[in-house]
Amino acid sequence: MPSFGRAIEVTMKCMKISVEGVGATTSGTSARSAIPNDASGNKAKYVLICSGGTVFFLPGDSTVDATNSSPVVGADSPVLLDVSGHSHIAYLQGTAGARITITPVEF
């Protein structure tokens, strides 16, 4: 029997979504939303950011603003983000009127 090299052990954890997140329609002016709470009622440590179009986003405090130099999430390209130490996520449209959804996830 041929040998294909050594075995590799892979550990995979699936994310758990137990509560609804927040959603907003973006505009040409930066806006922000508070990071939603997880299922235990605490500020989420991880969030899944999804969008129906191009959206610039940036985690931070209650004064954070997103710019066209901020990280970007696109349609069909969700972003899993560690938001520890942040209270808000700012967002700005890249595609006119794109919707953004910020959902708390747990592992």
Look at residue 12 in the predicted model and tell me its pLDDT. Answer: 72
Look at residue 67 in the predicted model and tell me its pLDDT. Answer: 98
| pLDDT, average across residues 75-95 | 95
* Distance between CA atoms of residues 17 and 6, nearest Å: 35
Residue-range domain boundaries for the chain: 25-105
Supply the pTM of this predicted model. Answer: 0.86
Q: Report which of residues 12 and 30 the model is more confident about.
A: 30
| Assigned CATH topology for domain 25-105 | Jelly Rolls (2.60.120)
Give tens-digit pLDDT for 40-84.
Answer: 999 999 999 999 999 999 999 999 999 999 999 999 899 999 999
Contacts of 45 (CB under 8 A, 6+ apart): 38, 82, 83, 84, 106
The helix (run of H) or strand (run of E) holding residue 82 is strand 79-82
Look at residue 76 in the predicted model and tell me its pLDDT. Answer: 86
Q: Are the C-beta atoms of 54 and 72 separated by less than 8 Å? A: yes
